[in-house]
Structure formats: structure tokens, C-alpha cells
Structure 1
Amino acid sequence: MTDIATEKATAAASGAAATEQFRSKQKSSQTAVDTQRVDILVTELLTAAHDIIRRHKVTYAEYDALKSWLIRVGEDGEWPLFLDVWAEHVVEEVANENREGTKGTIEGPYYVPDAPALSAEATLPMRKDEAGTPLLFQGQVRAVDGSPLPAAKVEIWQADDEGYYSQFAPNLPEWNLRGTVIADETGHFKIHTIQPAPYQIPTDGACGQLIAAAGWHPWRPAHLHLKASAPGHQLITTQLYFRGGDYVDDDIATAVKPELILDPKPTGHGDDHEVTYDFVLDKA
């Protein structure tokens, strides 16, 4: 039996949790399959792969290594991680290219719906001894025309000071550093939390094997995950980063945008910091 005090997050466990979350989301999706779109997209994907094989004279040894690795991705449950790290940023770019409001970026594999509802000024659920620099994240949710959006919903989730997400790593309370904040009648909110740390994506599984083979680094910069929504407006999914932080200029997931970089300031109370960021939502 694993000693719970020394139990560590593993790629397989994290991948299994991410896969289960994705499957749960898909069960509620009613998206119809357009056979013409499937034909176009899959044909072009395979054509691009065939072109790579021909141009680079891929050998059978390399082909077998790829096949073995693809099998391992599935065994480790890391398809959500792989796709969210290396493909989602382009899907997001296309999906949000016509937005006028707040910039979006990737959701990532660690979102969990139905986090506890919190008031307009709230402290995220956390352990009594939660490590990290206290951070007040505050702002307003508005429409593109500048009008406030009363009772807008701001979902927030983040890693802790060691880079771990609740429900994807052992020994963390279920909703640690996760919440759904309901803005006040003027769209304002104040969220008391801690400043997260940079973290490595799991490296003991198939994605780590790829990173090592390619000579890449596995790091993501510190960030807050957010979804902002209001009736009659488009939901925006985004991440907010910290100016001067490690890996902001070299994110393994290629998800950082200049508009999404925060610049927290000291509050004058100990090590506490605060930052203001407003969400601007497009009409639905």
C-alpha cells in the first residue's frame, strides 16, 4: 500500500482523471457528426503526415517508435494532456478570431465544472496552511459596449504553490483553489487566493518521453485559469500570467498572449499582492 504522506502525482493518475473529465463532458455534448467535415479534416491530416514521411525519409525503426509511443499515450491516459499542450492553442485561436472582447487562451486538461459557488468577494477554498504569496484578484465583467454585467459568473481554478491541481494530484482537498464567483450588481468581483507557481507538465509518461526525445523543456508559467460568462453573452475561457515570471516567454503550451500578462502590486500588508483585471464579453 502506498504511504499517503509520500504519495506523489503521477502522469498515469493525472491522465486518467483528465480523460474521465473529458468523457463526462462529451456525454453531455450533442454535437452531430458532419461526414463531409470528417472526410476533409482527416484526409488533410493524413496527407500532411504522408508528406512528412516522404520529405524526411522516415525509416521503419522511426515508424515503429512512433507506433509504440502512440500506444503508450493511450495507456497512460495522456491524450487530453498531449492535445491540450500542443494543439489546443491553435483551435482556440481559430475559435476566437472574431471576438472584440477579452482575449482567450486554452482551457487545458484540469478544468472541473460545478466548483462551489462563492459571493462577489470571496476567498477560494484552501488549506489553513496554504503556501504561497497572498493575492487579491479583482475586477469587473462588462459588455463590449462598456455596460456592466450584473451577476456575471467568474470560474477560477489554479495550481497550488507546488504546481498541483486538486482532483488531479493526491492529498489535496476536492475543491482546493477552485471556485465559481458570482459578481455583484455592477459586475465587480474580488477573489482572495494565492499566487500560483510555474509547474512541469507530467514527465513520467508518454508526453514526458516525447519532451525528452525532442530536447524540449516541460514547463508552464504560473497562471490563473478563468471562465467568465453572463446571460446573452459569449463565455470566454482564458489564462492570466505574471509579468517577469519564469517561462512566460517560453511556455511549453504556447498559450501566453501579451494581453493576458498581469502585473501585481504590493498591497502594503506583508507580502500580499493585488491586481485588477476586467473581463469584456461579446454578445452571444
Structure 2
Amino acid sequence: MTSEVEARAADSGAGATDTFRQSGKLQGEADIPPERVNLLAGELIKAANDVAEKHEVTYEEFNILKAWLIQVGEDGEWPLFLDVFLEHTVEDVNTRHREGTKGSIEGPYYVPDAPTISSPATLPMRPDEKGTPLTLKGSVTSTGGEALTDAKVEIWLADDEGFYSRFAPGLPEWNLRATVPVDSEGNYEIHGIKPAPYQIPTDGATGKLIAAADWHAWRPAHLHIKVSAPGHELLTQQLYFPGDQHNDDDIAAAVKPELLLDPQPNGEGGETAVYDYVLDAQA
């Protein structure tokens, strides 16, 4: 049986691509009016031509670009590439109207319908799961301060080696993934581990670009969260930890000051962090 540390970028990329195809997010693409497609595609193509003109791109560089684009598709890494290098801007544009809690990127490793576990919830994990125990707890309210007692918190995180279940071999199907409904007072409590920083997959096409440009591939340690409640906008975010060396140079440029946790020793060999959510009502 292949272990998680033997995971390949192509396997992870294929999983992310399949998950995206099954997510239903392709629905509605035909509803985008031609004028909008003309605007966006036209400006994107013009920007690429402007770069070629400004920097006098050679045929050797052009052919390398074509080969690389083909390899991104063959590796299934378009979800990874776009989520790392573009999603943070799209997320910011689409949520800047909100008055409630700040969001962040989803990333390529979300899987819907994780097991539902009542609060206080302990995430599914292996008996010998590595990592410092971490408790995350808080409340979910509206912008008016009312407790949202029908809210739910979805959470997923990488393990101590930086791998996600469903995207690396050898991991239990729902390892460190769960859906947690809030309690009757709108509060939640989740027990898991504190994940480690990790590099995005580097043995595929995205990694080749990173190496060629002499960039680094590191993401700071983070928790993935989705918070939802009927009649309110879905909040997607990542929560980070103070002191991580990659908070300031995250390859995905997704860290915001409002997303930093303040975990404290809990006297039980682990840490506890409190994070309250405020959701905006749907327009």
C-alpha cells in the first residue's frame, strides 16, 4: 500500500480536478453574457501580448510556455495553480462588501459532505495521529448579534506531514475532516491537531514553474473552515498561527491579520483557540 509520503503531485492534481468537476461549480458558465466573456478574455489575451511585447519573448520561451501549459493540464494541476496564484484576488473582490468575519481562499482540497459530528466534536483521526492537540471553539452570530443556532462549521486540515485525506494515499477517507453543527446557543467546539506548514506539490508542472522562477513553495500552517447558516452568506476562510515563518511570504498570498488565531496552552498538553464568527445576511 502506498504511503502518504509517497504521494505524487499528479495524483493530488488529478484528485483536485475530479473534485472540482464533481462540485457542480461548472454549472451556470453558459449564463455569463458574451459581453462579459469578451471583456475578460480580451483583456487577459491583451495582457499576455503586452508582456510578450514589453519583454521581447523569444520563440524558445514561447514554446516552453506551451509545453508547460500542456503539462499543467496533464498533471491535473489547474485547480492547484489557479487556487494558489489567483484565488486570493478573486476572493477579495467578491467579499469586500461584507461587514462580518473576513474570509480567505478555499484552496483545491475541499470535499463536501464530510461526516457530521455534534459539538463538542473530535475530528476523525488515526490513533497515532501526530501533532499538538488543538481545540478550536467559538460562536456563530449574525451581524445584528443574534445567535445562529442552525449554523454549521465545516473543517478540514492537513496532517502533521502536510497531507490531506482524499488527496494522498494511505490516509483514512475522512481523516481530519468533519461537519459540525453549532449547539442550541450557536456555539461550536472542535478537537483536532495543530497542522504543520507544508509545501504545495512540487514534482508537477506548478513545482517546475516555482523552481524555474526561484520562488519557494511553502504555505504557513492553517485550518480550513466553511461556516454556513440559512439566509446568510457562506463564509470560507483559512485560520493561521502567529509566529509562522511563512505568514509574510505565503506562496498563496492568503494570510490576513484578521485570520490569525491566538492559541493558548490548555493545561492538557495541547492548545485552545477561540474564534467567533459573524455572518452577513444574504442580499
TM-score over 0.5 for the pair: yes
Residues 157-196 of structure 1 aligned to structure 2 (within 5 Å): 157-196=156-195
Residue number in structure 2 paired with 1:103: 102
Q: Are the aligned partners of 2:4 and 2:169 in contact in 1 as well (CA < 8 Å)?
A: no
Aligned with 1:26: secondary structure?
A: coil
Residue number in structure 1 paired with 2:33: 34
Residues 79-118 of structure 1 aligned to structure 2 (within 5 Å): 79-118=78-117
Residues 187-266 of structure 1 aligned to structure 2 (within 5 Å): 187-266=186-265
Q: How far does residue 193 in structure 1 lie from its aligned partner after superposition?
A: 0.3
In the superposition, relative to structure 1, how do residues 153 and 5 fare at CA in structure 2: closer, same or farther (>3 Å)?
closer
Residue number in structure 2 paired with 1:63: 62
Aligned equivalents of 2:101, 2:8: Cα separation in 1: 34
Q: How far does residue 147 in structure 1 lie from its aligned partner after superposition?
A: 1.0
Q: How far does residue 29 in structure 1 lie from its aligned partner after superposition?
A: 2.6
Aligned with 1:73: secondary structure?
A: helix
Residue number in structure 2 paired with 1:275: 273
Give the residue type in structure 2 aligned to 1:237.
T
Residue number in structure 2 paired with 1:47: 46
Aligned equivalents of 1:135, 1:206: Cα separation in 2: 34
Aligned with 2:24: secondary structure?
A: helix
Q: Are the aligned partners of 2:4 and 2:171 in contact in 1 as well (CA < 8 Å)?
A: no
TM-score (norm 2): 0.97
Percent identical: 61
Aligned with 2:96: secondary structure?
A: coil
Give the residue type in structure 2 aligned to 1:19.
T
Q: How far does residue 5 in structure 1 lie from its aligned partner after superposition?
A: 4.8
Give the residue type in structure 2 aligned to 1:247.
H
Structure 2 residue ranges without an equivalent (≥5): none
TM-score (norm 1): 0.97
Aligned equivalents of 1:141, 1:126: Cα separation in 2: 25
Structure 1 residue ranges without an equivalent (≥5): none
Say whether residues 1:11 and 2:12 are aligned partners: no
Q: How far does residue 150 in structure 1 lie from its aligned partner after superposition?
A: 0.2
What RMSD, in angstroms, separates the aligned Cα atoms of the two structures?
Answer: 1.2
Aligned equivalents of 2:209, 2:26: Cα separation in 1: 32
Aligned equivalents of 2:2, 2:257: Cα separation in 1: 41
Structure 1 residue runs of 4 or more that deviate by more than 6 Å after TM superposition: none
Number of residue pairs aligned between Structure 1 and Structure 2: 281
Post-superposition CA distance 1:87-108 (Å, at most 9, x none) = 0000001000100001011000
Give the residue type in structure 2 aligned to 1:197.
A
Q: How far does residue 27 in structure 1 lie from its aligned partner after superposition?
A: 6.5
